[in-house]
Amino acid sequence: MAPVYDNDNVFAKILRGEIPCYKVYEDEIALAFLDIMPRIDGHTLVIPKFPARTLLDADADKLSELVKRVQKVARAVKDSLGAEGLTLLQSNESAGGQVIFHLHFHLLPRWEGIDLKPPASQMESPEVLEKFQTRIAMALK
């Protein structure tokens, strides 16, 4: 039996406004916000507003609309931060490295010679998050 979507996961709570986030983009399909424990400066998450546990159980038509938003936000992250590249990370189920069971995409701006931090290794300060939030959000206007 396939695992069931949990309406009480942290991203569902963010979508309902029960937990705050550093939002950079929102429309009827997606919400994008900064990871509060970033692996690199500007680490951004894009999540669907529809319930989906993983990429594998998401409705294909809704997923195609979501990916358009992922691309749009990825361009803004890369361009606004002057990144030399970008890593897109998407994990499915515990064995695949997924920790929060709501479909999400990690956008990781990259620069030569700067390694990613380990996942969930350090909470970033609000001041730093607000700085990146402003830069990325402005690029999406």
Q: Known catalytic residues?
A: 104
Q: Residue 97 pairs with which residues in a beta bridge?
A: none
Structure tokens given for 111: 């620069």
Longest dimension (CA), the chain: 45
Do strands 30-34 and 23-26 pair parallel, antiparallel, or not at all (unpaired)? antiparallel
Q: What share of the chain is helix, strand, coil (3-state, %, to 5)?
A: 35, 20, 50
